[in-house]
Each structure stands twice: as C-alpha cells, then as structure tokens.
Amino acid sequence: MESRDAPQRDGVLPLPPSPAPDWALFLDVDGCLLDFAPHPSQVIVPAHLQRDIVRLSEMLGGALALVSGRSLDAIDDVFGDLRAIPAAGMHGLERREPDGRRTFPPVAPESLIGIYAEAQHVAINYPGAIVERKGPNLALHWRAAPDARDAFRAFAAAALRVLPDYRVQGGDMVLELRPGGASSPDKGTAVEGFMAQAPFRDRTPVFVGDDLTDEHAFSIVNAYQGLSVLVGDRAPSAARWRLPDPAAVRAWLARATAHDGVHA
C-alpha cells in the first residue's frame, strides 16, 4: 500500500493536518515533544504538555503512545503523570501495552560492564561527551562534544567484536550499541505491535519524530496509508509531512486539544 499523499510545494513537506478522531497517534520524545538538552536528564517539560497529551489521548479513545529511545523508566521519570499512556522504550526493546502489561528488554551480558567502563574512558577526553547505560543498550552521545564523533564510532565498531549479538544503531549525534542484531525490534515494529491491538487497531497511524531511528516507523505508517511527520529538516526521509521543531509539535498538540478538539 502507498502512504497518504501530502501536497508538496517545490519539494518542501507540508504541515500535517489537525488530528482526526480516527487517528492512532505515536509520538517520539526527545527532539519531538521535548527540546534537546546537554544531558538527557536535563530536558525541560514545558507547562501544559502533559495535560495536552492526556487530553488528546482521551479524545482518541486511548490510541496514543510514546515511542522513544529512552527506557520506559526514563520516560516515566520525565513524564511522571503519563504512566497510564502506552509506550515503547529503547527503540521498541520494551513496551507498556494499553492494558498496562510490560514487555521487558533482554538481560545485558556481563561483558557490557567492561565495555561501559572503556567507553567512559574514551568520553573523558571529550568534555561534554556522554556515555549512557540503558539496560542492555549503551548510548554514546556527542551533541555537546562534536569532536568525540569519530572516537565513539571507532569504539562502537571495536566493541562489536566482544558483543557478537549486538549491532550499532545510528542516531542524531548518538550511536547506540543494542542487542538482537539486524532482527532486533525497532520503532517500526513497536508501531506494528500497537496497531495489532485495541484501541489502535483499524485506525489511521500517525507517527511524529525527528531522528534517523524514526525512519523505521515512518516506513510502517506509510505502508498503512498513515501520516509520517518529520520534525526538523533532516534529509533524506520517508516522511511525507513536516513540523519545523518541538515547539511547533507542542503548539500543534495544544491546538488539537483546544475548543472542540480533534477534527472529523
């Protein structure tokens, strides 16, 4: 199936329409709902965002989920009032289902302890570089230390020699070592899992995200004839619609919850 067409002008992706009552809405977190911060723990949740998400979830009959590279625990630390919202963490390695059940990630191998320590030694040479342990995943961030990129890339490639069941996943100024090889879950499989069950089933899927890791989800919603919404101007992308930045995403959500809410 082909995706729902977007009316492009001179190759520029258009703004998405207002949310409709038959949507199943999937939202990335960092770089989408929230502006980036020097450290993932330093993100700021703007006033009214959690309220708007809860309100929109109610308008969509519960068919709203967060889909993030963060762990579920980290998502809940950021959005304390959204623990009842379905979510996928670690790019789909763990999920909170609509009924509250959780799917947990695989146990990290013992060798990851040493890899983590070695990565920290690399990061010390680049002030602002961050090594983040996320269960079985290890994220290497260089947003605040661009010079660390090549060192982190070389380190990740070398680490695969002692982590044979792992792969390297690229992102926006981050690399992530994660288990499962090429067949491991991603944001696209997370969306598929939600779409196979109520209240998401038989709705039009809409995914909003900014990162390279969101491309899996864009491809899936396009196949469902849904709406794929890129945040920012990264190219190339499978997305068919665009919002310029997280502030625009938050304003889009706020408009949907104001007055009469979603539009039929």
The answer on 193 and 175 residing in a single domain is no
Count of the separate structural domains present in the chain: 2
Sheet of strand 137-141, all strands in order from the earlier edge strand to the far edge: 130-134, 137-141, 174-179, 166-171
Q: Which candidate, 55, 46, 73, places its Cα nearest to that of 19?
A: 55
For residue 3, name the pLDDT band (cuts at 50, 70, 90).
Answer: very low
Answer for the pair 54, 81: CB distance below 8 angstroms, yes or no: yes
Answer yes or no: is pLDDT of 136 > 90.
yes
d(CA 157, CA 46): 37
3-state secondary structure of 199: coil
- Return the percentage of the chain with pLDDT > 90, whole number: 83
Residue 55 is inside which H or E element, if any?
Answer: helix 49-59
The answer on 236 and 127 residing in a single domain is no
28 is catalytic: yes
Listed residues 158, 179, 200: the one ending a domain: 179
CATH at 56: 3.40.50.1000
pTM for the model stands at 0.90
The answer on 123 and 90 residing in a single domain is no
Residue 120 domain-assigned (yes or no): yes
pLDDT in tens, 92-103: 999 999 999 999
Answer for the pair 75, 29: CB distance below 8 angstroms, yes or no: yes
Rounded to whole angstroms, the maximal C-alpha distance in the chain is: 56
The mean predicted confidence, pLDDT, of the chain is: 92
The answer on 101 and 72 residing in a single domain is yes
Average pLDDT over residues 26-52: 94
Average pLDDT over residues 189-205: 98
Average pLDDT over residues 130-134: 95
Model pLDDT, residue 2: 40
The answer on 161 and 42 residing in a single domain is no
Residue 12 domain-assigned (yes or no): no
Residue 3 domain-assigned (yes or no): no
Residue 217 domain-assigned (yes or no): yes
For residue 83, name the pLDDT band (cuts at 50, 70, 90).
Answer: very high
Model pLDDT, residue 80: 86
Listed residues 135, 155, 179: the one ending a domain: 179
The answer on 204 and 100 residing in a single domain is yes
The answer on 90 and 34 residing in a single domain is yes
E strands, 145-257, in order: 166-171, 174-179, 204-209, 227-231, 241-243
Model pLDDT, residue 261: 56
Residue with tokens 């999920």: 95
Residue 166 belongs to what domain range? 111-179
The answer on 166 and 72 residing in a single domain is no
Listed residues 153, 179, 205: the one ending a domain: 179
Residue 263 domain-assigned (yes or no): no
pLDDT in tens, 151-171: 999 999 999 999 988 999 998
Average pLDDT over residues 248-257: 96
User: From the candidates 5, 22, 28, 77, which is the catalytic residue?
Assistant: 28
CATH at 153: 3.30.70.1020
Answer yes or no: is pLDDT of 264 > 60.
no
pLDDT in tens, 8-22: 545 679 999 999 999
Answer yes or no: is pLDDT of 209 > 90.
yes
The answer on 250 and 188 residing in a single domain is yes
Kindly report each contact of residues 235-243 with a partner whose C-beta sits within 8 Å and lies 24 or more positions away, as own/partner.
Answer: 239/13, 240/3, 240/4, 240/5, 240/6, 240/13, 241/6, 241/13, 241/14, 241/15, 241/16, 242/12, 242/13, 242/14, 242/15, 242/16, 243/15, 243/16, 243/208
Low-confidence winner among 112-116, 211-215, 255-259 (lowest mean pLDDT): 255-259
Average pLDDT over residues 226-242: 96
Residue 156 domain-assigned (yes or no): yes
Q: What is the dihedral of CA 52, 82, 196, 68, to 10 degrees?
A: 90
The answer on 200 and 132 residing in a single domain is no
